[in-house]
Amino acid sequence: MSYHQLPPPDTILLAPSHPISSRWWSKETVAIVTGANKGIGFALVRRLAEEGVTVVLTARDTGRGVEAAESLRREGLQNVHFFQLDVANPNSINTFAAWFQEAFGVVDILINNAAVSFNEIHENSVAEAETVIRTNFYGPKMLTEALLPLFRRSSTGARILNISSRLGLLNKLKNPKLKEMLLDEENLSEEQIEGMVNLFLENVKNGTWKSQGWPHVWTDYAVSKLALNAYSRVLARRFKTHGLTVNCFCPGFTQTSMTGGKGNHTADAAATVGARLVLLPAEELSTGKFYVVGSSNAFYSKL
């Protein structure tokens, strides 16, 4: 399915090789990719830099981040820059935002990729649920809010892409009250989403999480992505007429450290699709959507 044949209404299949119809970006276009010292984040930095975009690679570990950026510069990608960022730490976010404003002034593309999971493929412990929620949901939310004043206002449109997962789709949620709340898109609020997250953490603490209708696979990770998807829809609604698109992208079962190297495709393949998505011309890019890597099966989702 091509980029020019986007199926309604909420989930879009992306073909990995379809060309972008027009080039709107230049070396003055600035992108930020979090959690980018390896895996999909690193591959996204490379793809965007290869297209001529100026990219800020961020990572929690300074040494690994520096080495990742230097390795790309050794490939000839001199438009890659590094700054340390731990999205789970509000002080780190504030430091990064202040540095970025001084160094670049404006941002065109933000890719919230940084995320954690502490489970093996077939495990489902919630022992680290607070860390997972803080990193995967609150991290992108706090960083996005810190950078909102810096997004460039232009006819090409600024873009936020939240790397998500089908594990966080509504069909994985069996709690009818929560599902009803999330389906009420026009009235859904950030406070309601945070209330849902707090309820989950309370259920984890009192040991009732297995019986409360939460997703059954990688539960803490799935809830963090469920919340991120919902927040993305709220943010997309808020900025729909302000030249800022907000979407989610599920790279699918990808060969990364999080999956123990297992998967149906490489991080480079997933990043090729993700990079094409954020580089779509403004007239072809929707907002408030859940994008998935193209396949023979369609997926429907309410964010």
| Inter-helix orientation angle 190-205/176-183, to 10° | 160
Q: Is the model's pLDDT at 208 over the cut of 70?
A: yes
pLDDT of residue 14: 52
| 212 belongs to a structural domain | no
Does 215 reside within a domain?
no
Residue 49 in domain: yes
CATH number, domain containing residue 154: 3.40.50.720
Find the range with the poorest average confidence among 62-71, 218-227, 263-272: 263-272
CA–CA separation, 288 vs 273, rounded Å? 18
Give the range among 52-66, 71-85, 228-242, 251-265 with minimum mean pLDDT.
Answer: 251-265
Asked, for residue 156, whether it belongs to a domain, the answer is yes
- Does position 232 have pLDDT exceeding 90, yes or no? yes
pLDDT at 22: 73
Q: 291 an active-site residue?
A: no
Average pLDDT over residues 203-229: 97
Q: What is the pLDDT of residue 300?
A: 38
Task: Choose, from 221, 231, 291, 300, the residue flagged as catalytic.
Answer: 221
Domain assignment of residue 224, yes or no: no
Q: What angle do CA 220, 238, 132 make, to 5 degrees?
A: 15
pLDDT in tens, 265-285: 677 888 988 999 999 999 988
Q: Is residue 86 part of a domain?
A: yes
Q: Do the beta carbons of residue 24 and residue 281 sit within 8 Å?
A: yes
> How many domains does the chain fold into?
1
Tell me how far apart the alpha carbons of residues 241 and 234 are, in angstroms, rounded to a whole number.
Answer: 13
What sections of the chain are H helices per DSSP? 39-50, 62-74, 90-103, 129-133, 139-147, 176-183, 190-205, 219-238, 267-278
As a whole number of angstroms, the distance between CA 83 and CA 100 comes to: 9
User: Rounded to an integer, what distance in angstroms lies between the CA atom of residue 10 and that of residue 248?
Assistant: 10
> Residue 226: its pLDDT value, please?
97
Write out the residue range of the structural domain in which residue 278 sits.
11-118+138-166+229-301
Q: What is the mean pLDDT of the chain?
A: 89
Query: Is 177 contained in some domain?
Result: no
> Does a structural domain hold residue 151?
yes
